[in-house]
A and B are shown apart, each in its own frame.
Chain A
Amino acid sequence: MTPRSIQLPLSTDTIKSLKAGDEVLLNGYVYTARDQAHFRFVKAISERRAPALIKGQTIYYAGPTPACPGNAIGSCGPTTSSRMDFFTPHLLKSGLKGMIGKGARSEDVRRAIKRNKAVYFITIAGAGAYLSKKITEARPVMYKDLGAEAVYRLKLRDFPAIVGIDSNGKEI
């Protein structure tokens, strides 16, 4: 099966059309966020000041290596998604539409994905050098004090992924 090219941010129609197990190539902007950024996002949401970059967007659970001169980014594969499970339902409620990571999610997250009509993608774990070639821009935009865990805005070009959980809550 030839993977489908998908434009980010995800439109309502695209979200509806994606089914668990579909192979896709992602194109457009995503934001990286790991444990500490999620912790801060949820703290901000609880104080009714949800970061604007969540709404309608896609988060990539990743912390890249620094870029060598002449490259957009260093090695950039996914980290374990389940560590973000506790925070994810709050982000989905605030309008997050897509997530990219590795591994299974909790039942709470699966239900929240279905309830909020979002999508969870999985990408190739441990292939950070390969995936770095699918990222054309990287810029830290938030929480720069976190170093490797800062929020980066990445531009993806034909970034390979598979739908892990679709908007009907169906898992691969």
Chain B
Amino acid sequence: MRKISSDRISSVVAELSMDANFSLRKDIFGALRGAWASEKAGKAKKVLGILLENAEIAKRSKTAICQDTGMAEVFIDIGQRAAVTGGGLEDAVNEGIRRGYGKGYLRKSVVSDPLLRKNTNDNTPAVIHTRIVPGDRVKITVMPKGFGSENKTRIKMFNPTQGASDIAGFVVEAVKKAAADACPPYIIGVGIGGTIDKACILAKEALLRPVDRRSRKTHIAALEKSLKKELNALKIGPMGFGGGATCLAVNIETFPTHIAGLPVCVNISCHATRSATKTI
């Protein structure tokens, strides 16, 4: 067994939570710059230019890209030959969030009870997804998820005889309903298959894939491309100012499902979709 101390887990989580909030992902910065370059002069282009400037200011001055530094979702792939020593894994992750959100001057947006709504003042707990995988490494991803976009999530159980065009229609409706509320240009994470909880996690995992990389499944890659085109034809644009940039990418992940169903989750994410990953 390879031993990894819980303190090491905490310091990596702390570092990743700051990194994700200060440095816009390279793939997303690139996509925003592309959108800016191809936009005709006008309000939409001006806003895209400010978003690029915002990313540069954030990185340079270690100020959060967006004030909604999110509820932290932490994805951990833990090798089955790795052992965490000196404390529990979940406690270590939450300690990392506590340190990172404190040291990074990030906003504490988590309440301890969904109905009583008292702020925990350290942004814990994180939502933690662990998977046991082969090997002895631990891969940690921190995704701070803002709720302006999280609030626009849609889920639906389709009939098994329905298909790609029905799902596409549902995604388009979800984006139309969000309009400019959730900070376009969007990255759309879609989870198809599994059970409904699996579909929701797939939609989140989809957001972690670089926006310039299409699905390896050809029928899914085709759906991603045609949906992106359809969404950009809506002409919502940054701040609702129209133009060609409503969506930077549609990322779809799939999983086998049951003969009786077709679960779908659409998770809309903003132009400041954040995540950072490290393997130890």
Classify the interface of chain A: helix, strand, loop or mixed: loop
Total number of A residues with any Cβ neighbor in B under 8 Å: 36
For the complex formed, measure the closest distance between the CB of B98 and the CB atoms of chain A, giving whole angstroms.
Answer: 14
Q: Is the CB of B179 within 8 A of A103?
A: yes
Q: Is the CB of B47 within 8 A of A124?
A: yes
Question: Is A44 interfacial (CB-CB < 8 Å)?
Answer: no
Question: Is B257 interfacial (CB-CB < 8 Å)?
Answer: no
Interface centre among B43, B105, B106, B151 (most CB of A within 10 A): B105
Q: Is the CB of A128 within 8 A of B65?
A: yes
Bound CA–CA A102/B53 (angstroms): 19
Chain B residues near A67 (CB-CB < 8 A): 105
Q: Is the CB of B239 within 8 A of A129?
A: no
A74, A80, A122, A147: the one within 8 Å of B119 (CB): A147
For the complex formed, measure the closest distance between the CB of A83 and the CB atoms of chain B, giving whole angstroms.
Answer: 8
Question: Is B268 interfacial (CB-CB < 8 Å)?
Answer: no
Question: Is B205 interfacial (CB-CB < 8 Å)?
Answer: no
Question: Is A75 interfacial (CB-CB < 8 Å)?
Answer: yes
Q: Is the CB of A102 within 8 A of B180?
A: yes
B53, B180, B239: the one within 8 Å of A130 (CB): B53
Mask, B161-186, CB within 8 Å of A = 1, is 00000000000000000011111000
Q: Is the CB of A66 within 8 A of B105?
A: yes
For the complex formed, measure the closest distance between the CB of B179 and the CB atoms of chain A, giving whole angstroms.
Answer: 6
Question: Is A62 interfacial (CB-CB < 8 Å)?
Answer: yes
Interface centre among A62, A82, A129, A130 (most CB of B within 10 A): A129
B117, B119, B271: the one within 8 Å of A126 (CB): B271
Chain B residues near A65 (CB-CB < 8 A): 63-64, 67, 69, 105-107
Question: Is A89 interfacial (CB-CB < 8 Å)?
Answer: no
Bound CA–CA A172/B241 (angstroms): 9
Task: Given A63-B107, A102-B183, A125-B180, verify A74-B63 contact (CB < 8 Å).
Answer: yes
Bound CA–CA A79/B67 (angstroms): 9
Q: Is the CB of B51 within 8 A of A127?
A: yes
Chain A residues near B53 (CB-CB < 8 A): 127, 130
Q: Which of B54-62, B74-82, B207-215, B246-254 contacts A (4 or more CB under 8 A)?
A: B54-62
Mask, A32-71, CB within 8 Å of B = 1, is 0000100000000000000000000000001111111001
Task: Given A75-B63, A75-B67, A79-B148, verify A122-B239 contact (CB < 8 Å).
Answer: yes
For the complex formed, measure the closest distance between the CB of A59 and the CB atoms of chain B, giving whole angstroms.
Answer: 16
Task: Given A103-B180, A104-B179, A126-B270, verify A68-B105 contact (CB < 8 Å).
Answer: yes
Chain B residues near A103 (CB-CB < 8 A): 179-181, 240
Bound CA–CA A124/B106 (angstroms): 20
Chain A residues near B61 (CB-CB < 8 A): 68, 129
Q: Is the CB of B105 within 8 A of A146?
A: no
Residue of B nearest to A68 (CB): B105
Q: Is the CB of B180 within 8 A of A104?
A: yes
Bound CA–CA A162/B181 (angstroms): 15
Question: Is A76 interfacial (CB-CB < 8 Å)?
Answer: yes
Bound CA–CA A67/B55 (angstroms): 18
Q: Is the CB of A132 within 8 A of B50?
A: no
Q: Is the CB of B54 within 8 A of A129?
A: yes
For the complex formed, measure the closest distance between the CB of B229 and the CB atoms of chain A, giving whole angstroms.
Answer: 23
Q: List 22 A-B contacts (CB under 8 A).
A: A65-B67, A65-B105, A65-B106, A67-B105, A75-B69, A80-B151, A102-B180, A122-B239, A124-B239, A125-B183, A125-B238, A126-B271, A127-B51, A127-B54, A128-B65, A129-B55, A129-B63, A129-B65, A130-B50, A130-B57, A160-B50, A162-B239
By a beta-carbon cutoff of 8 Å, the part of chain B in contact with chain A is 43, 47, 50-51, 53-55, 57-58, 61-69, 105-109, 117, 119, 121, 148, 151, 179-183, 238-240, 270-272
Instruction: Give 16 new A-B contacts, CB below 8 A, not counting A128-B66, A129-B58.
Output: A62-B67, A66-B106, A79-B148, A103-B179, A122-B240, A124-B50, A126-B54, A127-B53, A128-B68, A129-B63, A129-B64, A146-B119, A147-B119, A148-B108, A148-B119, A162-B239
